[in-house]
Structure 1
Amino acid sequence: MAESQSQSLTTLAHIRNHAIKSRQLYESQMDLDASRTSARLEATIKELQDQIEQQQAALENLRAKFNGTNSSASLAFASSDPRQRLKQLRTLKRAYTSLKPTATFLPEKDSVLPTLLTTRSLQQNVQGTKDAISATESQLSTTSSLLRTEEQNLHDANLITTTITSRIAKLQIDHEEQSEKSPTQLANDLIAAKRAQKATYDEKIRLLGDDLQLFITEILSPMLAAEALGGPVVGDMLDVQDETLAAGFTKKGRAKSTSKAPSERSRQLKIDQIWGNNAAVDDAHITEAEAADQEMRSLIESLFATLVGPGGGKAYFEVERETAAVRFLVRAGVAKLHPREARKVRLVDFGAELDD
């Protein structure tokens, strides 16, 4: 009992001495002299080396005590023999008893070991803080991007909700108005709506027809005439002049020289030969492009008449011969030839699927 109290008093004395030394070190001014710092570092290193040597000596002492039967390997596991187990316990007790009064290692007053340990701890904390800042910035960027996406989705959802709400309100108003009308009034409104719709469609058809006629006259007819005269197919030569059509093309499809223009009579004979005697109207001479224009217009009118006529859009129109206009419509996917008769052609009924 007295021995235990003595050890406690010794440990308490060491703690008080360490507290006094730490307070003195804290209150004293730090020495910034480089030579003094080097000397303190060397002293600290020597102190640590001495401590290591002491620990190694203590370790060798313990190993010497545990040689033979009382080796560390034999003490690792409890023996099944009661006497041997008691011996192991006594050996462990002696080891703990010898280690208990050992004074705690405390650095000297001038030692820089606390400063080094503090510096290492601060460096670890600073590096950890930097890593945490980098990770937080990356997470913040990802979160900001996700937030912008969600805000855009919310904006779209609000617009959809507003549109659907207004549409529902309009439908409700229309339903209330319809429920208050008589069958005659409903029929008249339906007829008026269909007539207005038909008028709108007729106007769109007229505008599309005008655009088609303009396209044929100004753009398509010269290229059709060039293909009919043996030149390149439609689309290979975009800018075809009347002089080029009048001069004609070689057997290889190249434009002939326009330095010597053919006579008007030979030119009209060639036009009649290619486009037929219908190329002249009221004995007035027309150009190759005008003849191709008339042929395309006549072909489209005949195909439209066949499409809306009897046969439900399945009837074919029989042409006198395969012309550049027929080939162009087929290549464009607007018309299709009969699978067994090459001179029969019809327009593709794009509205048949909608009717079905």
Structure 2
Amino acid sequence: MAQSQRETLARIEQYVTAARELQDDPMDLDASATEARLEQTVRELQERVRGQQAALEKLRISSSINVEQAAYASEDPREKLTQLLAVKEAYNQLTPTAPYLPPKSSILPALLAARTLQQNIHGSKEAITSTQEQMTKTEATLKSEEAHLRDAKLLTESMQDRITRLRDQHEDRLQKTPAQLAKELIAAKRAQKVHYDEEMDTLGNALNEFIEIHLSAMVAAEELGGPVVGDMFGVDNDTLASGFTKKGKAKSGKKPVSDKLRQRRIDQIWGDKAAAEEGETLTEAEAADNELQQLIGKLFTTLISSAGGKAYHELERDSAASRFLVRAKIAQFHPKDARKLRLIDFGRELDD
């Protein structure tokens, strides 16, 4: 047993040594010898072709048979049999003849092998490219189908949950009297109304706060001849008191405006809306705030009190507040009368 292992190890060492010698031995590539072998192979092939052509020409001259006619089977049975016998005789003569093979020194087999290898490599590259394209398309299709499958599963689960809930509700209703169902429906509607009222109060307070803090001063500035709402931010009371030039720019506050002149200007623009409930006068921003909130309230009342929301509120004057609501797509003028205004019902399509 030990002797056989030693023999095996010795053979492995001999193989490794021989492989290293072959690896270290440089390959002899003589370009001149290769070119000479190529030229010799070409000459041999040319001589072979010339010999075949000469033999074919000799056969044509010595034979009286028409080659083109002999290439096709004759319709005459006897002549057809003669042709078959001739073909059989030719096969019998050619079968024992050794086929032409290039000599041992010829490079033709290597060229043929190289051509076949090149064709195989080119075909393999094309097959790899085509396979990669197909894999990319298949992967994209697979991802799309997986996404559709996930969506289908989610829809199926949702539908099953919905069906289960509906069945439970139906069974629950079957066990209750009409009076109990009516009480539950009334309670649900009341709870929904309370929720909507709370939401309306929250949104109304947020709107009033936004108007008071941000919007009223800009509306007052536009009313006083300044820039339109949104073109000038951070308008303060001093800027509103000083007023604006004919070009819509704020006047410099070097000379303060008297309270009497300022109050007369406020009364001329806002009138009764410039007075508070206690009879105190308001600033420009406060007067614009009061006017804008009253206008929104009147428009909302007109919208909910009219049949189909088609009624318009008639304006007392053309104000910056009404123009802002129209620019903000909150309200719209009557197509034939600019003194009439109404809120846009967002539950319906906008008028053209």
TM-score, normalising length: structure 2 = 0.78
Task: Check conservation: 2:273, 2:291, Cα contact below 8 A.
Answer: no
Q: Count how many residue pairs are aligned between Structure 1 and Structure 2.
A: 322
Match of 1:222 in 2: 217
Mapping 1:37-48, distance limit 5 Å: 37-48=34-45
Q: CA deviation at 1:294?
A: 0.5
Asked if residue 318 in structure 1 is aligned to residue 283 in structure 2, the reply is no
Mapping 1:176-255, distance limit 5 Å: 176-255=171-250
Amino acid at match of 2:326: V
User: Match of 1:346, SS?
Assistant: strand
Match of 1:64 in 2: 61
Q: CA deviation at 1:80?
A: 10
Q: Which moved more, 1:265-274 or 1:307-316?
A: 307-316
Return 5+ residue gaps in structure 2 as ranges.
1-26
Q: CA deviation at 1:43?
A: 3.5
Match of 1:50 in 2: 47
Mapping 1:1-356, distance limit 5 Å: 37-65=34-62, 72=67, 104-281=99-276, 282-309=278-305, 313-351=309-347
Match of 2:5 in 1: none
Task: Check conservation: 1:70, 1:88, Cα contact below 8 A.
Answer: no
User: Match of 2:238, SS?
Assistant: helix
Q: What percentage of aligned pairs have identical amino acids?
A: 55
RMSD between superposed Cα atoms in Å: 3.5
User: Match of 2:228, SS?
Assistant: coil
Q: CA deviation at 1:283?
A: 4.6
Amino acid at match of 2:59: L
Q: Distance in 1 between matches of 2:308 and 2:41?
A: 108
Q: CA deviation at 1:183?
A: 1.0
Q: Which moved more, 1:70-79 or 1:241-250?
A: 70-79
Task: Check conservation: 1:107, 1:113, Cα contact below 8 A.
Answer: yes
Q: Deviation string for 1:191-248 (max 9, x for gaps)?
A: 1100111111111111110111112112221111111111122222233232221111
Q: Deviation string for 1:95-145 (max 9, x for gaps)?
A: 999978865312223323223222221222222122212211221122112
Q: CA deviation at 1:77?
A: 7.6
Task: Check conservation: 1:31, 1:37, Cα contact below 8 A.
Answer: no
Task: Check conservation: 1:232, 1:253, Cα contact below 8 A.
Answer: yes
Q: Distance in 2 between matches of 1:215 and 1:31?
A: 93
The 1:129/1:247 distance shift into structure 2, 3 A limit, reads same
Q: Distance in 2 between matches of 1:191 and 1:79?
A: 105
User: Match of 1:276, SS?
Assistant: helix
Q: Distance in 1 between matches of 2:87 and 2:176?
A: 108
Q: Distance in 2 between matches of 1:100 and 1:199?
A: 108
TM-score, normalising length: structure 1 = 0.77
Task: Check conservation: 1:221, 1:292, Cα contact below 8 A.
Answer: yes
